[in-house]
Amino acid sequence: MNQPIQGQSGQALLFLTDDQLRKGIEAMFFAYRGFTADPDRILEDMAYGRAHHRAIHFIHRSPGTTVNNLLGILGVTKQSLNRVLRTLIADGLVSSTVGHRDKRERHLHLTEKGAALERSLSDAQRERMRTAYRAAGPVAVAGFRQVLEAMMDDEMRHHYRAMVDKPDGR
Amino acid sequence: MNQPIQGQSGQALLFLTDDQLRKGIEAMFFAYRGFTADPDRILEDMAYGRAHHRAIHFIHRSPGTTVNNLLGILGVTKQSLNRVLRTLIADGLVSSTVGHRDKRERHLHLTEKGAALERSLSDAQRERMRTAYRAAGPVAVAGFRQVLEAMMDDEMRHHYRAMVDKPDGR
DNA sequence: CTAGTCATGTCAACATCACTGACGTATTGT
DNA sequence: ACAATACGTCAGTGATGTTGACATGACTAG
C-alpha cells in the first residue's frame, strides 16, 4: 500500500485504495470543523455569521477590492453578498467608496472597527493553524498546501494563486 | 523563512509568519469548496443537500450506528439530524431497526438504494481526492493528513481516530 | 417496584445563508 | 443613441442550523 509506481511521464503514481481516500475525506470533514470553530464562537454572540467572516477576511486581504471581485472570490450571488455587506457597512465595519476611474465600482475597505474584528477573528484562526503547523512540522506543512491546492477547482486555484503570490497581501 | 528551529524537546519549531498562516487559511477555504463541489452537484437535482450526504456517508462508514452516535459525529442537534433522517427513511435510502440489546436504540443501515447513492457521491469525491493525491505525491499526502489531524478539536480527533483505525470501515 | 435517566421522535418558532428572477439606476464603452 | 457593466434591492423559496418544550418507551438504580 502507498507504494509509488513509476508513471509514464516520470511522475510517481500512487496505488490508492478506497480506504485511504476515505480517510482523507473524513480528515477534511473533521479538520474543517476545527478550522471554523474558533471564529464561529466569536461571531455567535454578535449578529454575524460565517459569511460575514469571509467577507471581512477578503476585504482585509485585498483592501479596495470591488464588489464584483469579491463575488468571484466568494462564489456566491450578489444578493447573498449584498445582504452581508449591507449590515457590515451599516454597522460601520466596512466602508464603500465610489471608484475613481470607474464610478460604477465601489471600493471596499475595513474601518478601524472592522479591522479590530478582523484581528480578533484571524488571531484565533491563526493560533490554531500555528499549533497544527508546529505539531506537524515543515515537511508536512508543504505537503498539506500541495494537496489542498491540487484539490481546488481551476477557478478557485486561480484566485488562490493570485492572492498567495502577492508578497504581503496588499 | 520556514526554517526549522530546534525546540527544547528536540521537536522542530517553526518560525511562522502571519503571512504563511494566512496562506494556509485561504488554502483550506478554497480547497474545501472543491472538496464538496462534486457531491453538491449530484445532490442539487434531488431534494437533498450536504447534510444528507454527511448522514449517508457515516451510516455507510459505520453500518448499524445509532442515532446518538451519529449525533456525536456530526455535531448537530437531534432535531436537525432527525429532519434529515426522516426524509432519508421515508425515501427508502436508510433503514432504522430497533436495537436488540437496548430496545431504545435505533440501528441505521443503508438500503440498496441508499448504498447506490452513496456510491455515486463518494465516487465523485474520491476521484477528486485521488487526482489531488497523485498530483502531490506520497510525502505530501502524509503531511496533509498530519496537519489536518492536528487542526481538529479534541473531540473530533477522537471520532476520527476511532474510525480511521478500523481496518475497512465495518 | 417506583423513580429517574436515557434514546428517540416530534412540534413550534426562529435565524442564517444560500438560491432564482425581476427591476432600477448610474456609468461606461461602442 | 444604445448596449453592456457594476451595483443595489425587492420578493419568494429552500436547506440547514438553533432553542425550548413535550411525549413515549425502555432501561436502571434505589
- Give the Cβ contact number of residue A132 at 10 Å: 24
CA dist B83 and B34 (Å) reads 27
Helix (H) or strand (E) holding A6: strand A4-6
Helix (H, G, I), strand (E, B) or coil at A10: coil
Give the pLDDT mean for B91-95: 96
B105, pLDDT greater than 80:
yes
CATH architecture of the region A19-164: Orthogonal Bundle (1.10)
Average pLDDT over residues A156-163: 92
For residue A23, give the nearest of B121, B163, B135, B36 by alpha carbon.
B163
Cell triple for A119: 484581528
Which residues are bridge partners to B95 per DSSP? B109
pLDDT-derived band of residue B167, with 50, 70 and 90 as boundaries?
Answer: low
Q: Does the pLDDT at position B104 exceed 90?
A: yes
3-state secondary structure A19-44: HHHHHHHHHHHHHHHHHHHHHHHHHH
Contacts with A72 from chain B: Cβ below 8 Å: none
Residue A12 pairs in a beta bridge with A6
Q: Give A97-127 pLDDT, tens digit per residue.
A: 999 999 999 999 999 999 999 999 999 999 9
Sign of CA dihedral B35, B149, A167, B132: negative
Residues near B61 by beta carbon (within 8 Å), at least 6 away in sequence: A22, A26, B163, B169
Residue predicted with more confidence, B142 or A46? B142
Count CB-CB contacts under 10 A for residue B128: 21
Q: Does residue B131 lie within 7 Å of nucleic acid chain D, judged by its CB?
A: no
B157 pLDDT more than 50: yes
CATH class of B17-164: mainly alpha
The answer to whether the Cβ–Cβ distance between B151 and A24 falls below 8 Å is no
CA of B17: how far to CAs of A126, A129, A155, A167, B147, in Å? 10, 11, 27, 12, 17
Q: What is the pLDDT of residues B33-78, one digit of tens each?
A: 999 999 999 998 888 999 999 999 999 999 999 999 999 999 999 9
Among candidate residues A53, A50, A55, A54, the one with its CA nearest the CA of residue A67? A55
- Mean of all residue pLDDT scores within chain A: 90
Distance in angstroms (rounded) separating the CA atoms of residues B168 and B166:
6
Give the pLDDT of residue B11: 56
CB count in 10 Å sphere of residue B52: 23
Distance A142 CA to D15 C1' (A): 36
Read off the DSSP letter of residue B104. T
B2-22 pLDDT per residue, tens: 445 544 444 566 788 899 999
Mean pLDDT for A60-72 is: 96
In the prediction, which pLDDT does B62 show?
95
Express each pLDDT in A68-90 by its tens digit. Answer: 999 999 999 999 999 999 999 99
CA of B74 to C1' of D15 (A): 16
What percentage of chain A carries pLDDT values higher than 70? 89
ipTM value for the complex? 0.89
Protein side of the strand C interface (CB < 7 A): A 47-52, 54, 75-77, 79-80, 84, 99, 101-104; B 66-68, 71, 78-79, 82, 85-86, 96, 102, 104-106
Contact A59, A70 (CB under 8 A): yes
Q: What is d(CA A116, CA A80) in angstroms, rounded to the nearest whole number?
A: 24
A113 close to A92: Cβ distance less than 8 angstroms: yes
Give me the pLDDT at residue A11, please: 56
Q: How confident is the model at residue B84 (pLDDT cuts 50, 70, 90)?
A: very high
